[in-house]
DNA sequence: TATTGTTATACTCTATAACTATA
DNA sequence: TATAGTTATAGAGTATAACAATA
């Protein structure tokens, strides 16, 4: 007796969804002079991949009480080699507003993951420092983080990783 | 007399910022068994590229009174070939909650870009339809949209676009 | 006058839960 | 009982503008 085929599960449904939508975008695209399907489908895949990636990492981080923005701040604090950073430094490294950093640092302080110290050489500024608790949390999370990244690329040959990196850099530099 | 060197402008500053941050991430990464720098730098570039891309398109759309989420809904309505969609259909195509779609459709209706019609075959449902005004707005925006995408990829050879598409698909399928 | 940080406010995008009306 | 949509509420992440304190 023949084996039953494996029932088409979620990925197929997602592909149907994508093709339903994309087929039409491609069809309608013919109307536009500049429409470049190989470029458009690459961009759509890029955006869709980002969504999938962020859902994945947001869940992973949530298991440690972290959010992506908070994780980024914690990484910056942890990787500054003991050098205490002003909030304004963080805002420049993260490319977000100072007001935003106030909120993110508040969140870290509330959880005991960072603390503020007065800057003796500049009365306007705070110096932000990761606490042992913050360091411990980050160090408990990071092995999972890096293992996940490694696994995502596990089917990539070294040259493919390099090539994707190169093409992404080229892509980024094309945006202006 | 020697010419003054061109002052290093934004891109260089950004690269410095990135290298400041990345150099440390790479240095510290050595501690972790699974740390795979070619993978990590590709992922960081991917995320950074997305940020740059979204800032760019968000601004472009804002010039037409559109936001990314509203644009997506408008595209779905416009590309459904006259077939009126239930809000639930939109939520499935967009992979967002029904409550979310209510808000997005409200925004479109408020601006006169879409309208709701009763579904005669299902008293629970609304059928959502793009209005001529919505169509006109979308059609005024799309040439810029596609021109921008084309320009972003203008330095790509056809094979490079294909390869980036392939690698992004592979990347996406590695996320689980 | 310029800079650092805070507060107030607001916008986009998203979600869940409880609800109504209908199937 | 299941489904379509709405409402209320929440929360993350972002921004600008006005402000106080300090440089």
The pLDDT of residue A12: 56
- Measured between alpha carbons, how far is A11 from A52 in angstroms, rounded to an integer? 12
CA distance A70 to chain B (A): 16
The pLDDT of residue A15: 66
pLDDT band at B19 (very low <50, low <70, confident <90, very high): confident
pLDDT of residue B49 exceeding 60, the answer is yes
The pLDDT of residue A131: 96
Q: What is the pLDDT of residues A38-57, one digit of tens each?
A: 999 999 999 999 999 999 99
Residue B41 corresponds to which tokens in the numbers above? 């730098």
pLDDT of residue A147 exceeding 60, the answer is yes
At A105, is the secondary structure helix, strand, or coil? Answer: helix
CA distance B1 to chain A (A): 33
The pLDDT of residue A2: 34
Residue B73 corresponds to which tokens in the numbers above? 């809904």
**What's the half-sphere exposure (Cβ side, CA atoms, 13 Å) at B20?**
14
Distance between terminal CA atoms of chain A? Answer: 60
The pLDDT of residue B75: 97
- Measured between alpha carbons, how far is A24 from A31 in angstroms, rounded to an integer? 12
Q: What is the pLDDT of residues A92-137, one digit of tens each?
A: 999 999 999 999 999 999 999 999 999 999 999 999 999 999 999 9
The pLDDT of residue A13: 66
Residue A64, C-beta contacts closer than 8 angstroms, at least 6 positions apart = A137, A140, A141
- Measured between alpha carbons, how far is B81 from A31 in angstroms, rounded to an integer? 14
CB atoms within 10 A of CB B171: 25
pLDDT of residue A1 exceeding 60, the answer is no
Distance A29 CA to D9 C1' (A): 40
CB atoms within 10 A of CB B60: 15
Q: Taking CB atoms and an 8 Å limit, are B164 and A155 in contact across chains? A: no
Conformation bin of residue A110: beta by default, left when phi > 0, alpha when psi is -120 to 50? alpha
Computed over every residue of chain A, the mean pLDDT equals 91
* Class of CATH domain B67-176: mainly alpha
Residue A126 approaches strand C within 7 Å at CB:
yes
The pLDDT of residue B5: 33
Q: Are strands B126-130 and B85-86 parallel, antiparallel or unpaired?
A: antiparallel
Q: CB-based contacts with strand D under 7 Å?
A: A 58, 67-70, 94-97, 99-100, 103-104, 122-124; B 86-89, 91, 98-99, 101-103, 105, 116, 119, 122, 124-126
Q: What is the pLDDT of residues B59-68, one digit of tens each?
A: 999 999 999 9
Bases along strand D below 7 A from a protein CB: 3-9, 12-18, 20-23
Q: Taking CB atoms and an 8 Å limit, are B162 and A78 in contact across chains? A: no
pLDDT of residue B8 exceeding 60, the answer is no
Residue A120, C-beta contacts closer than 8 angstroms, at least 6 positions apart = none
Find how far residue A12's CA is from the centre of its chain. 26
Least CB–CB distance from B169: residue in A34, A45, A76: A45
- Measured between alpha carbons, how far is A135 from A138 in angstroms, rounded to an integer? 5
pLDDT band at A75 (very low <50, low <70, confident <90, very high): very high
Is residue B116 a contact partner of residue B87, using CB atoms and an 8 Å limit? no
Closest nucleotide to the alpha carbon of A88, via C1': C4
Dihedral sign, Cα of residue B81, residue B83, residue B84, residue B90: negative
Q: What is the 8-class DSSP label of residue A32?
A: S
Q: What is the pLDDT of residues B101-126, one digit of tens each?
A: 999 999 999 999 999 999 999 999 99
B115-142 b/e (C-beta count within 10 Å ≥ 16 → b): bbeeeeeeeebbbbbbbeebeebbeebb
Dihedral sign, Cα of residue A105, residue A107, residue A110, residue A114: negative
Residue at token pair 């008293």: B123
Residue scoring higher pLDDT (A107 or A81): A107
Residue % of chain B over a pLDDT of 90: 84
The pLDDT of residue B176: 87
pLDDT of residue B52 exceeding 80, the answer is yes
pLDDT of residue A9 exceeding 50, the answer is no
Computed over every residue of chain B, the mean pLDDT equals 91
Is residue A56 a contact partner of residue B173, using CB atoms and an 8 Å limit? no
Residue A58 approaches strand C within 7 Å at CB:
no
The pLDDT of residue B2: 33
Set of chain A residues whose Cβ sits within 8 Å of the Cβ of B20 = 93
Q: Which fold has domain A34-176?
A: Arc Repressor Mutant, subunit A (1.10.10)
Distance A160 CA to C11 C1' (A): 40
CA distance A45 to chain B (A): 7
Set of chain B residues whose Cβ sits within 8 Å of the Cβ of A176 = 56
pLDDT of residue B142 exceeding 70, the answer is yes
Q: Give alpha helix (H) positions in A30-123.
A: 37-62, 68-78, 87-94, 98-110
């Amino acid at each position: 007796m023949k084996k039953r085929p494996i029932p088409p599960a979620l990925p197929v449904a997602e592909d149907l969804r994508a093709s339903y939508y994309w087929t039409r975008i491609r069809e309608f695209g013919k109307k536009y002079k500049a429409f470049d399907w190989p470029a458009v489908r690459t961009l759509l895949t890029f955006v869709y991949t980002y969504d999938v990636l962020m859902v994945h990492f947001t869940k992973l981080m949530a298991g440690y009480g972290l959010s992506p923005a908070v994780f980024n701040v914690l990484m910056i604090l942890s990787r500054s080699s003991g050098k205490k950073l002003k909030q304004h430094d963080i805002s420049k490294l993260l490319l977000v507003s100072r007001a935003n950093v106030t909120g993110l640092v508040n969140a870290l302080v509330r959880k005991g993951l960072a603390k503020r110290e007065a800057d003796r050489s500049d009365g306007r500024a705070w110096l932000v420092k990761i606490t042992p608790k913050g360091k411990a949390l980050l160090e408990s999370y990071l092995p999972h983080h890096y293992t996940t990244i490694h696994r995502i690329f596990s089917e990539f040959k070294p040259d493919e990783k390099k090539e994707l990196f190169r093409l992404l850099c080229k892509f980024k530099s094309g945006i202006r």
